[in-house]
């Protein structure tokens, strides 16, 4: 017997078993490989986080050194991959399109790698793709990755050409750890679907970039920052937000498929971000953002009383990344630089499960057409 239950958007459908992360949407809690996000985000390096996801335990000191060295040695792209990224930047592609093209080329010269090795190659090379794109777009030559810097530190170095401060590295690591994995979100589901066909990890990560790009998923933080600057200009958060809501627009950085309360990652990112604004004497901008958050949640309750809509991860992502100095146009791609850790771990888990993902559709088209020859239509 077949079950004809239709779940548009697959809402509440359990499509995989995973040990990687658990999202409790009612309580507003996120557990990543056994750790509350608050604990992991603030303490781990990104290398420790990906080790944890790939191995289901924390590394000891030797294992961590070995992973750091291995990732660092994989950072540089093949010349042909740099060409792809350069062509994308010179053609005016946005960062997510460039990342998709670069991701697809990330294992050039290494196509024979095992799934575990391909996972490391993808994680190691995503920052190089994004930084090479950015430098080219800014009219500067891409910088070679530095093996002596951490994953996060090297990404910042490749973007700016300067060695980042410890605070910037810690801020970025907190961000990368916070957003590395989040249940069966759209891009992760995409990666798992691709892996379920016994395809490869780099293909899975490349498809996932395409899913992350959309404004309902990873594309929101750029528009959040634009909104905050526009509100700073007008000086009237309530009037601005009312106008948006009255015209039926969605407020970026709010609402979530699973959370019915404030996304726990908002608190983690907000406290990491606040330090940068205070240190830079820009506390007023941070305070404005907090006022916008409060006003937006009040107005969302007024305009959408039937649906609890609260702050999601993207609101404070925009503030933290801006505070660290990541360019606005790279926010979504920097999300990809983190989430590739989750995508690769899910791909490995799905390869292990070895079950083709293939739901059904409910056919709502015509059922009784007869063919009309071309000259009679």
The contact set with ligand OAA (CB under 6 A) reads 179, 182-183, 185, 257-258, 313
In this structure, what DSSP letter does residue 315 have? H
Q: What is the DSSP string of 113-164?
A: --HHHHHHHHHHHHHHHHHHHHHHHTTSPPPPP-TTS-HHHHHHHHHHSSPP
Residue from 47, 168, 293, 314 carrying the catalytic annotation: 314
**Which one is catalytic: 256, 322, 346, 349?**
256
- 332 touches ligand ACO (CB under 6 A): no
Indicate the SS3 state at residue 24: strand
- Please identify, using beta-carbon distances, which residue of 255 and 341 lies nearer to ligand ACO: 255
Instruction: Choose the one of ligand OAA, ligand ACO, none that binds residue 361, judging by a C-beta under 5 to 8 angstroms depending on kind.
Output: none
User: Is residue 260 part of the contact set for ligand ACO (CB under 6 A)?
Assistant: no
Strand partners, 31: 22, 36
Find the binder of ligand ACO among 10, 13, 87, 216 (CB under 6 A): 216
Contact 122, 111 (CB under 8 A): no
Q: Judged by CB under 6 A, which of 153, 253, 323, 341 binds ligand ACO?
A: 253
Q: Among 129, 205, 208, 220, indicate the residue that binds ligand ACO (CB under 6 A).
A: 220
328 touching ligand ACO, by CB under 6 A: no
Question: Which residue's CB is nearer to ligand OAA, number 132 or number 313?
Answer: 313
Q: Read off the DSSP letter of residue 23.
A: E
Residue 309 touches ligand ACO, criterion: CB under 6 A: yes
Which of ligand OAA, ligand ACO, none binds 254 (CB below 5-8 Å, type-dependent)? Answer: ligand ACO
C-beta atoms surrounding 208 within 10 Å: 32
Q: Does 270 bind ligand ACO (CB under 6 A)?
A: no
Return the residue nearest ligand ACO (CB atom).
255
Burial of 354 (0-12, 13-18, 19+ CB in 10 A): exposed
Q: Which stretch binds ligand ACO (CB under 6 A): 12-20, 132-140, 306-314, 348-356?
A: 306-314
Q: Which is nearer to ligand ACO, 10 or 66 (CB)?
A: 10
Interatomic CA distance for residues 266 and 285, integer angstroms: 17
Which tokens is 45 given? Answer: 């390096």
Q: How far is it, in rounded angstroms, from Cα 171 to Cα 221?
A: 17
Decide if 22 is catalytic.
no
CA-to-CA distance for 172 and 324, rounded, in angstroms? 7
- Residue 254 in the binding site for ligand ACO (CB under 6 A): yes
Residue 145 interaction partner, one of ligand OAA, ligand ACO, none, beta carbon < 5-8 Å per kind: none
Residues 98-137 that bind ligand ACO (CB under 6 A): none
307 binds, among ligand ACO, ligand OAA, none (CB under 5 to 8 A by kind): ligand ACO
Of 118, 125, 70, residue with least CA distance to 102? 125
Q: Is 31 helix (H, G, I), strand (E, B) or coil?
A: strand
CB 257 to ligand ACO: min, Å: 4
Let me know the angle formed at the C-alpha of 218 by 212 and 220, rounded to the nearest 5 degrees.
145
Q: How far is CA 205 from CA 12, 190, 324, in A?
A: 24, 9, 26
Q: Is there a catalytic annotation at residue 314?
A: yes
CA dihedral 228, 234, 238, 240 (to 10 degrees): -80
Could you give the residue numbers annotated as active site?
256, 314
The site for ligand ACO (CB under 6 A) is made up of 9, 216-218, 220, 250-257, 300, 304, 307, 309, 312-314
């Amino acid at each position: 017997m077949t079950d004809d239950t239709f779940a548009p958007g697959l809402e509440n459908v359990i499509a995989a078993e995973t040990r990687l992360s658990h999202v409790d949407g009612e309580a507003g809690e996120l557990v990543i490989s056994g750790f509350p996000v608050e604990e992991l985000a603030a303490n781990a390096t990104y290398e420790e986080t990906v080790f944890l996801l790939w191995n289901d335990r924390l590394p000891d000191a030797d294992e961590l050194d070995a992973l750091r060295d291995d990732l660092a040695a994989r950072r540089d792209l093949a010349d042909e991959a740099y060409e792809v990224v350069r062509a994308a930047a010179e053609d005016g592609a946005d960062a997510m399109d460039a990342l998709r093209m670069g991701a697809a080329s990330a294992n050039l010269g290494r196509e024979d790698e095992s799934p575990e090795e391909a996972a490391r190659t993808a994680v190691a090379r995503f920052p190089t793709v994004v930084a090479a794109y950015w430098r080219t777009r800014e009219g500067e030559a891409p910088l070679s990755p530095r093996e002596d810097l951490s994953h996060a530190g090297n990404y910042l170095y490749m973007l700016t050409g300067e060695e980042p401060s410890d605070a910037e590295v810690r801020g970025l690591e907190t961000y990368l750890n916070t957003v590395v994995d989040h249940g069966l979100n759209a891009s992760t589901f995409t990666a798992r679907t691709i892996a379920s066909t016994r395809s490869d990890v780099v293909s899975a990560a490349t498809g996932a970039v395409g899913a992350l790009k959309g404004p309902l998923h990873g594309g929101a933080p750029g528009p959040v920052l634009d909104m905050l600057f526009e509100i700073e200009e007008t000086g009237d958060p309530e009037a601005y937000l009312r106008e948006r809501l009255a015209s039926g627009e969605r407020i970026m950085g709010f609402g979530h498929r699973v959370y019915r309360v404030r996304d726990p990652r908002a608190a983690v990112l907000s406290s990491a971000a606040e330090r940068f604004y205070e240190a830079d004497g820009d506390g007023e901008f941070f305070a404005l953002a907090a006022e916008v958050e409060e006003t937006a949640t009040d107005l969302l309750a007024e305009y959408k009383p039937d649906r609890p809509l609260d702050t999601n991860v993207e609101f404070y992502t925009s503030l933290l990344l801006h505070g660290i100095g990541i360019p606005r146009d790279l926010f979504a791609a920097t999300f990809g630089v983190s989430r590739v850790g989750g995508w690769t771990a899910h791909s490995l888990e799905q390869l292990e499960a070895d079950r083709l993902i293939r739901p059904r559709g409910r056919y709502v088209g015509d059922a009784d057409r007869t063919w009309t020859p071309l000259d009679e239509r």
